[in-house]
Amino acid sequence: MNINVNPKERLMFNAFLIMFILHTAQTGVGIAGLPRVIYMEANRDAWISVVLAGILVSIVLYLMIKMLETYDSTDLYGIHLDVYGKWISKGFNILYIGYYLSVTYVILMNYIEMVQAWIFPKMPTWLLMGLLIFLMVYCVLGGIRVVVGIAFLGLILAFWLVFMIYTPIKYMDFNHLQPVLTSSPKQILMGIYKSSFTLIGFELVLFVYPYIKEKKKVLRYGLIGAGYSTFLFTVVTVVSIGFFSEDALLKTIWPVLSMFKILRIPNLERFEFIAVSFWMLVILPNICLYFWTASRGMKRVFNVSQKKAIYLFAVLLWILSLCVQDRITMNTITDKVGTSSFILSFVYPCFLFMLVKLKYIFKKKKGVDV
């Protein structure tokens, strides 16, 4: 395994697409439940938590890209190899592969739960899981360019959902948002922490970086993508707080979908059915990106072909879906993955940034000495 990867020119894509990748990786099933999760911690100042979390994302993203720029063209797996050496790096890389696989799993399971709760209560989990995995495998087999294409199309096709928030806005009561800034700093910090699982996805830049053509522009487009996600999350949170009364918001599992319940189009009375179905287009790029990252890791670390890794993981995911049946267990798993996401996506990259920079400075000094 080499530190630097130099993919063929025809496999690479333009830098502006990183906007779409980061944004679609960030918005997934999480956004449907986000307002409630943060509201539980930060109360009516939840939206401040989201804004602050968005700023935190931008800072971490900046550090990540600076870290990547120290090298020519590498990904996180390569950086690990450079920093920790051959054997320890394997441990870290396996951790990340496992992490992305579990993120894929959690997203899939949560989406399936959503479908079962809203549209098809009788549909078995394994069937939906099988169909979604089939679609996902089909996309990922096409390679990174197809995955990026899915991200682009997913955003374009599901973009109109954003405008559907207009009706709930009419029902908003701004009194619910006032008075501002009454939550304690601790509550707001807890809110930031809780929103981290929804906001992850921006760290995928660490893995797709080698495939980007104009590496100089990554920072600019990356920040735009993450900024748009933050904006969207903030809007959704503000509208949810205004729309629901406090008791109702604490009870509602998917506030965003429940808000769609009041939408009524003359020949389509129940809009949330469409929303849940269309949500698949939102999560498809999501799971494809994470799944690609995991399978890509297998290739980089163990040098097996990516195809084999994809098939292996697909079967694994499908078998795992048979194990969990109820909502409580799934909630615990989601929480566990959420906690690790805060460490692996926010904290650890900053730490790694320092290590890389230290090593770089150390090397330079040595070079001068000799």
Among 69, 72, 214, 246, binds other proteins (CB under 8 A): 246
> Binding of other proteins at residue 138 (CB under 8 A)?
no
Q: Which two tokens stand for residue 367?
A: 């070079």
Among 90, 217, 220, 270, binds other proteins (CB under 8 A): 270
Interface stretch with other proteins, choices 205-213, 232-240, 256-264, 337-345 (CB under 8 A): 256-264
> Binding of other proteins at residue 364 (CB under 8 A)?
no
Taking the C-alpha atoms of residue 275 and residue 357, their distance in angstroms, rounded to an integer, is 45
Q: Is 368 exposed, middle or buried (0-12, 13-18, 19+ CB in 10 A)?
A: exposed
Among 245, 329, 332, 339, binds other proteins (CB under 8 A): 245
> Binding of other proteins at residue 111 (CB under 8 A)?
no
Beta-bridge mates of residue 256:
none
Interface stretch with other proteins, choices 134-142, 257-265, 321-329, 341-349 (CB under 8 A): 257-265
CB of 307 to other proteins, least distance (A): 20
Q: Which of residues 176-195 bind other proteins (CB under 8 A)?
A: 176, 178-179, 182
CB of 212 to other proteins, least distance (A): 33
Count of CB atoms situated within 10 Å of the CB of 112: 23
Taking the C-alpha atoms of residue 345 and residue 107, their distance in angstroms, rounded to an integer, is 16
CB of 190 to other proteins, least distance (A): 17
CB of 271 to other proteins, least distance (A): 9
H-only helix segments in the chain: 17-26, 30-42, 46-69, 76-84, 86-118, 125-141, 144-158, 166-170, 185-199, 205-208, 218-243, 246-251, 255-260, 271-302, 306-323, 327-341, 348-369
CB of 124 to other proteins, least distance (A): 11
Cα-atom radius of gyration of the chain, to the nearest Å? 21
Residues 249, 253, 254, 259: what is their CA dihedral angle, to the nearest 10 degrees?
-40
Interacting residues with other proteins (CB under 8 A):
117-118, 120, 122-123, 171, 173, 175-176, 178-179, 182, 243-248, 258, 261-262, 264, 269-270, 272
